[in-house]
Structure 1
């Protein structure tokens, strides 16, 4: 029994170390062993180690063999920073999902520093971006040059680095450099430009159609594409621009353009701003009768499924041909419009006209008719001589006389 009691007691004493959950469900701490060593693997004593996790931190010094122990929550992600008077480390070490018995070795290096000067053909280059990075590591130093074109890394690990210098409008400069002690280096940047060929097309068609459009580039200016939708513009290398493409009647396009160190070609596809057009077959309709309307889109194509409203009330839906028939139920001006999704057409006015109900009056004047008849008879009498044979007058008598004379002449002969 005593042995059982002793065993249970030992388990309870070891519980915090082995990460056994507490009765309230919270996670217990586990031991994390950290060893700080030199590049040659020698332990580093008197190094100040700070561990950070879950918004908390602890700081302790290593013993002569470079070791230090921390109690941290089991499963935590821990960041490890180390400081030493004569050694340095560029980036913090990390350990994720800590478990009991984890050991981490953190290597420190001899200190070094570098001073860079960036120039072009006209002298120092200010605001150039500098990045100093060891292979397979995060950058050890980053920043921009001052007005005199200089940049200081501060204390970094001794070793071989890739140094990259960039600035908009210049070709990138990159070199591999061994940094030890106090290293100095000068970088010469070269300005450059690249040609960007812009094309703007209407993407609505199966074969996109070129468009004469406006291309606006912030900080540069505005340009017009030609009839083939093309325009070339010379822009600075390694520079980011905001480009806006626009054309009347079209939905424009805006975005960021990054120009590298080579020429490039870009195509912008835009389409007409959505709109509806409603056209009635007649603008005057007898009340109670119907009128045929046609709905087309911004490209003049029939719109199926559009709602036609009469006086603000839904009245019909267009078919595949874009057509619909609606009734004009009242006299006077009636407003018609079409709606398709979020797009509404302009209103069109159709006039409702009342149908005629009375026959037109006919007027007959007997006296006038008789006078007209009498006048016609008189005229006929004047032309015919006796009014009974129209057209047989003086001319006919002369012709008859000449005929008789001709007969007598022949008999004498």
Structure 2
């Protein structure tokens, strides 16, 4: 048996050995080639590459204004760096540093694009490996998370994207934190480190961090040792949550002290403007939830013509039922993932709904209209749940022919 055959056998093995090795390197090389192809297809060799999207253009403008304030003295917004300095994320730092080498503020986004794509693929492969313990299914899971899709009511997207926006960098780093959280689910002493990492992600994309901090926290609640007393459980989870707040506190304090609540604004004048400027789902939580359910079930894709009947939500619900049946020996720790989803729903659906309803009754402008955007992260969680029972059936099947058939069907469905 040749070296290549041995590594392929390990990739398709029913149980992946925990030590990283050549099979993982082969999978990562595949994703490196795939994401490089996608990057080249998007870029197509244009030089210089300065066509960037709205958010990226805003970041480029803010960074340029901070570096060259004299050039923006007549600009209503950019003349004073204090107008935008409160929202200084990792993107700003990276673009500002790379601009020293590129000589402009557009090409840094080009240079960051492929690394973000590769990090995304590698991170979700690692998460899949931690959860499934089967390399081939971890690779399939990572592959499907690359699929680009729009969530119209939120003006949001999921999947690999040509511009490394703050949310794109966040989703590229997120799976590494989730993989650590899952791997350490039975090690409460390490949970504060996971929440500290979530706190650091606040400086990458502040809108996404709260939902995932609560999601990780809720996931750990399901993993608390049964032998612990209630006071010990409450104390430890309070401390764990406090770690996130402590790490993210500098950004949170700066952000909130730089804003005043909308109570002094004329609600009847300002709110119609918000409805015109922002996507409806950002100021109408019930609509955001219903539209997400419809999009994720019937038309998830890069546009109306290319949307796929992904059945993400129905598929995830069926997957939970299957996991319950497959978990008679309690070997599958899927409850932590349900905790992640619960945290996402609380911050991205329940909290915005409550705030918007209260503000509507009191004629106040909602303080935070971005939280519903966290619903986008339900996409990879649905994908994780759908792939999970397939991986479990694959691991438990003694028949190589059945495993091969299951893989073929899954790969065809993934590609289509």
Scaled by the length of structure 2, the TM-score of the pair is: 0.16
Q: Which has the higher contact order (CA 8 A, sep 6+)?
A: 2
Bigger strand share: 1
Bigger helix share: 2
